């Protein structure tokens, strides 16, 4: 009879101990990944999708924010070339691709990448986090390769919840770095910023693509020209997601598995001479605006890409 109260007391103590243990270590109820958005007071990311950094610039501004109610653990900013779908092309040893992996965290190696532990909001929109490819704070050892680059921003919170590509919660964009030693593309018959033409007729394109006069310039080795629906050249591999009305290739690409007839001249090509005969760009019926995309590579692996709007009457 005396054992019953003792057993009851032991059971009560066990229950109380279990309850106290649960209060000290509550289960994680936050299963939501951080949210990557615009910086405070801004209406876009930087760099934006398709942003072009002109040959006269030596850096790029970074602009974004991250929020998480439980607390941000780490944020990774990854920049790498997307010349070819991420394989390695041939290049001169005096050129390097921009390659950045900045980790924002409470204990980051750089003070510009640190934020207070337990922070629920991170705002990146200052000059201290700019990415340079020239000067004393350059992120490349020598001369940056011109061409397309991907920027990926991902984040994880203090519970291990991560953003991902699968649900679109990472930020991914392709931007372009131009350099004075890269191929020079110039279309000279623009009207209000457009090339004008008539449906069913060959498009007249005047201008040149050449190696330029910079001391680091080299001959043109590859030319890739396409006429496509507007805003359909932004998929991750830079192939057209919409209708494609024209595609011609000359030379051999150092970065992609693409090749065509030999280029007639590696120093300078006139568009009036190459867009003739079977290579003429015949404009389709039923369209009013298309994009003419010209991609040129030089012997050093530099890429210049220009997009011209085509107005069809």
274 shares a domain with 219: yes
The more confidently predicted of residues 294 and 242 is 294
Please name which of 197, 177, 201, 199 lies closest in space to residue 187, comparing C-alpha atoms: 197
214 within domain boundaries: yes
Q: Could you write out the DSSP letters of every residue in 223-280?
A: EEEEEEETT---STT---SS-EEEEEEEEB-SSSS-B-SPPS-SSEEEHHHHSSGGG-
234 shares a domain with 171: no
Residue 150 has pLDDT above 80, yes or no: yes
189 shares a domain with 167: no
257 within domain boundaries: yes
- Report the percentage of the chain scoring pLDDT > 70: 85
The rounded mean pLDDT for the chain is 89
User: Tokens in use for 99?
Assistant: 């390659």
24 within domain boundaries: no
| 177, 210, 227 - which closes a domain | 177
Residue 193, judged by CB atoms within 10 A of its CB (0-12, 13-18, 19+), counts as exposed
Residue 22 has pLDDT above 70, yes or no: no
Residue 312 has pLDDT above 70, yes or no: yes
222 shares a domain with 307: yes
Among the residues of 97-166, which ranges form H helices? none
Q: What are phi and psi of 124, to 5 degrees?
A: -115, 110
Please name which of 138, 179, 186 lies closest in space to residue 302, comparing C-alpha atoms: 179
pLDDT tens digits, one per residue of 81-130: 998 754 445 566 899 999 999 999 999 999 999 999 999 999 999 999 99
Q: Once rounded to an integer, what is the mean pLDDT over residues 20-49? A: 82
C-alpha 174/C-alpha 225 separation (Å) is 19
- In this prediction, residue 83 carries a pLDDT of 87
What's the DSSP call for residue 27? P
145 shares a domain with 205: no
- In this prediction, residue 38 carries a pLDDT of 98
C-alpha 273/C-alpha 2 separation (Å) is 109
170 shares a domain with 48: yes
Tell me the three state secondary structure of residue 111: helix
152 shares a domain with 47: yes
19 within domain boundaries: no
Owning domain of residue 293: 184-312
Residue with tokens 């390769």, as numbered in its chain: 145
232 within domain boundaries: yes
173 within domain boundaries: yes
- CA 169 to each of CA 73, 206, 261, 275: distance values in angstroms, whole numbers, following the listed order: 16, 43, 43, 43
218 shares a domain with 149: no
pLDDT tens digits, one per residue of 42-81: 999 999 999 999 999 999 999 999 999 999 999 999 999 9
Residue 2 has pLDDT above 50, yes or no: no
165 shares a domain with 150: yes
Domain CATH for 219: 2.60.40.1930
- In this prediction, residue 290 carries a pLDDT of 97
Domain CATH for 159: 2.60.40
Structural domain total, the chain: 2
- In this prediction, residue 29 carries a pLDDT of 74
C-alpha 132/C-alpha 238 separation (Å) is 25
pLDDT tens digits, one per residue of 193-247: 999 999 999 999 999 999 999 999 999 999 999 999 976 444 444 444 568 999 9
The more confidently predicted of residues 268 and 30 is 268
């Amino acid at each position: 009879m005396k054992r019953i109260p003792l057993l009851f007391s032991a059971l009560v103590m066990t229950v109380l101990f279990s309850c106290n243990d649960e209060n000290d270590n509550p289960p994680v109820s936050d299963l939501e990944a951080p949210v990557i958005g615009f910086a405070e007071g801004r209406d876009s990311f930087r760099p934006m999708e398709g942003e072009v950094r002109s040959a006269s610039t030596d850096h790029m501004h970074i602009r974004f924010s991250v929020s998480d109610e439980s607390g941000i653990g780490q944020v990774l900013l990854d920049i790498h070339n997307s010349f070819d779908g991420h394989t390695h092309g041939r290049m001169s040893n005096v050129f390097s691709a921009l390659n950045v992996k900045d980790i924002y965290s409470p204990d980051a190696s750089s003070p510009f990448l640190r934020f207070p532990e337990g922070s629920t909001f991170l705002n990146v929109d200052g000059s201290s986090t700019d990415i340079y490819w020239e000067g004393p704070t350059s992120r490349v050892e020598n001369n940056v390769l011109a061409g397309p680059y991907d920027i990926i921003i991902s984040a994880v919170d203090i519970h291990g919840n991560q953003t991902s590509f699968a649900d679109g919660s990472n930020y991914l964009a392709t931007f372009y770095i131009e350099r004075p030693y890269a191929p020079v593309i110039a279309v000279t018959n623009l009207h209000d910023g457009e090339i004008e033409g008539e449906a069913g007729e060959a498009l007249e394109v005047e201008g040149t693509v050449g190696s330029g006069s910079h001391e680091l310039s080299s001959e043109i080795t590859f030319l890739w020209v396409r006429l496509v629906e507007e805003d359909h050249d932004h998929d991750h591999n830079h192939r057209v997601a919409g209708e494609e009305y024209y595609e011609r290739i000359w030379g051999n690409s150092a970065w992609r598995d693409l090749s065509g007839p030999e280029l007639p001249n590696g120093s300078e090509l006139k568009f009036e001479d190459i867009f003739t005969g079977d290579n003429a760009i015949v404009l389709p019926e039923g369209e009013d605006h298309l994009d003419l995309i010209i991609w040129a590579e030089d012997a050093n692996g530099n890429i210049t890409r220009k997009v011209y709007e085509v107005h069809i009457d």
